[in-house]
Amino acid sequence: MLPPKENELITRVGPGTPMGNAMRRYWVPACLSREIAEPDCPPVRVRLLGEDLVAFRDTEGRIGLVDEFCPHRRVSLYFGRNEECGLRCIYHGWKFDVEGNCLDQLNEPPENQFKQHIHLTAYPTVELGGIVWAYMGPAEKMPPAPKFAWTQVREERRHVSKVIEECNYLQALEGGIDTSHAPILHRLLTDNSTRGGIKPSNPFVRGKAPKLVVDVTDYGYLYAGIRPLGDSDVHIRSYHFVMPFHQIRPSRSDSGLPCDAGHIWVPMDDYNCMVYNWMYSTGDAPLTEEDRAERGIGNGPDFVDQKTFRSFQNRSNNYGLNREVQRTETYSGIDGINQQDRALQESMGPIVDRSKEHLGPGDKAIGQTRRMLGQAVRTVQAGGDPAGTGTSYYYIRAGEEVLPRDADWHEIMAPDITKDKILQTV
């Protein structure tokens, strides 16, 4: 359980909140690059950490992320004209560059203009891995760019998408790092099913309930679910949690390519998050169009409106729950692994009351995440740098193996996370 006061501390992310201040010390995904693909393209709305913003790419290809509302009369700049290296409000013609500087005031004669005194809130951005990332914290505390391994490979080897989830970021994040639920919620009932999920012959399903090992690092933690498999083997699946909302996990693409994959659960506000889904081929082979369709995990064009990024299956239609499918084909009766996750995470309500929970050893990673988020808040309040703002996460990989029980899985599956990098094992 988590006391209500601590629950409030780590779930509220708006401007001026303790967790909001901590979140603003990281690079935060703002939108997909393809949403503002061309110079002078239409701006897009961005809801981020409780703030309403617009993103645009100017004539020279520079990216602006600015307050949505014009400082003149507070109308939305989403309706603005993106022209000649600036975004112009269509109400009275005030124009702003990517740094928030006011360039022109059409409704005022030149001698009366006071544009030099007007500035729109603007946040620095970097473009990596098909995502526009924003830094919303103090300039002097800006961390190194978020160069995750998946952002550094060629475009044909990676894929990224997103979908809105209608609940607080933390319960979505906790669902993603909860390894014990995956072979239950996401299992198929037969190997010949064509639906997305984990086949019963997969060692992930055949193994018994996992023992969890969580190794705390300076970026977050490495964790593994270790499942007995027969008399002499174990199935081990390792993940990484990178502060404050990143997961890295092993995967295979729909076409069978070995991949690393993961999610980024970005708070839009206290009651909604944008889930970024990424994957990349860990070999030299490019991803196929089948891989990019995301049908197996339930995020593709059949599942998510690519203009609004909202799921077609949602609370209003019970996420497409089919009781006959639940009886005969899949454990849940809901299509798509990620859609199954959203259904259950949203069923908890906008912000779950964690004081009513009963956690067990299988929830070790969840408890550690809460402690680390709380510590990040306290570190920022004390003037320090929170975990995960360095560069040690740049090259980490996840893994999945069947090994002899006496094998050193750290050495085999996580050679980059040497014992001197592990701060604590819980």
Residue ranges of domains in the chain: 27-141, 149-425
Whether residue 207 is predicted with pLDDT greater than 90 in this model: the reply is no
Whether residue 419 is predicted with pLDDT greater than 80 in this model: the reply is no
Whether residue 418 is predicted with pLDDT greater than 80 in this model: the reply is no
Amino acid at 5: K
pLDDT band at 102; cut points 50, 70, 90: very high
The pLDDT of 334-360, averaged and rounded, is 97
Give the list of residues 6+ apart from residue 2 with CB closer than 8 angstroms, or none.
Answer: 354, 355, 357, 370
* Residue pLDDT, tens place only, 322-343: 999 999 999 999 999 999 999 9
pLDDT band at 379; cut points 50, 70, 90: very high
Say how many residues make up the chain: 426
Whether residue 420 is predicted with pLDDT greater than 80 in this model: the reply is no
Note the maximum CA span of the chain: 86
For residues 50 and 20, is the Cβ–Cβ distance under 8 A?
Answer: yes
* Residue pLDDT, tens place only, 25-44: 999 999 999 999 999 999 99
The DSSP letter of residue 336 is S
Give the list of residues 6+ apart from residue 308 with CB closer than 8 angstroms, or none.
Answer: 164
Whether residue 374 is predicted with pLDDT greater than 80 in this model: the reply is yes
The pLDDT of 348-364, averaged and rounded, is 96
Half-sphere exposure of 385 (CA within 13 A, CB side): 12
* Residue pLDDT, tens place only, 247-266: 999 999 989 999 999 999 99
Round the average pLDDT of the chain to a whole number and report it.
95
* Exposure b/e, 143-163, CB count within 10 A at least 16 = b: beebbbbbbebeeebbbbbbb
Residues 69, 254: Cα–Cα separation, whole Å: 42
Amino acid at 67: D
May I ask the CATH architecture of the domain 27-141?
A: 3-layer Sandwich (2.102)
Residues 129, 133: Cα–Cα separation, whole Å: 10
The DSSP letter of residue 90 is T
Radius of gyration from C-alpha coordinates of the chain:
23
Structure token digits, residue 200: 């019963």
The pLDDT of 408-415, averaged and rounded, is 89
Residues 121, 163: Cα–Cα separation, whole Å: 26
Whether residue 52 is predicted with pLDDT greater than 90 in this model: the reply is yes
pLDDT band at 180; cut points 50, 70, 90: very high
Weakest-pLDDT range from 73-77, 371-375, 405-409: 405-409
CB atoms inside a 10 Å sphere around CB 119: 15
Structure token digits, residue 387: 């975990």
Identify the CA nearest to 182 among candidates 222, 212, 219, 217.
212
Whether residue 177 is predicted with pLDDT greater than 80 in this model: the reply is yes
Secondary structure tally for the chain: helices H, strands E: 10, 19
The DSSP letter of residue 67 is E
For residues 398 and 240, is the Cβ–Cβ distance under 8 A?
Answer: yes
Position 94 scores a pLDDT of: 98
Whether residue 233 is predicted with pLDDT greater than 90 in this model: the reply is yes
Position 254 scores a pLDDT of: 87
The three-class DSSP label of residue 181 is helix
Residues 278, 276: Cα–Cα separation, whole Å: 7
The three-class DSSP label of residue 172 is helix
Position 403 scores a pLDDT of: 96
DSSP 257-325: -EEEEEEEEEESSSS-EEEEEEEEESSSPPPPHHHHH-TTTT-STTTB-TTT--BSS-GGGGGG--HHH
pLDDT band at 93; cut points 50, 70, 90: very high
CA distances from 59 to 37, 45, 54, 87, 408 (A): 12, 19, 16, 10, 55
For domain 149-425, which CATH number applies: 3.10.20.30, 3.30.460.40, 3.30.230.10, 3.90.380.10? 3.90.380.10
Position 171 scores a pLDDT of: 97
Residues 142, 152: Cα–Cα separation, whole Å: 20
* Exposure b/e, 182-201, CB count within 10 A at least 16 = b: bbebbbbbeeebebbbbebe
For residues 304 and 292, is the Cβ–Cβ distance under 8 A?
Answer: no
C-alpha of 281 from chain center: 19
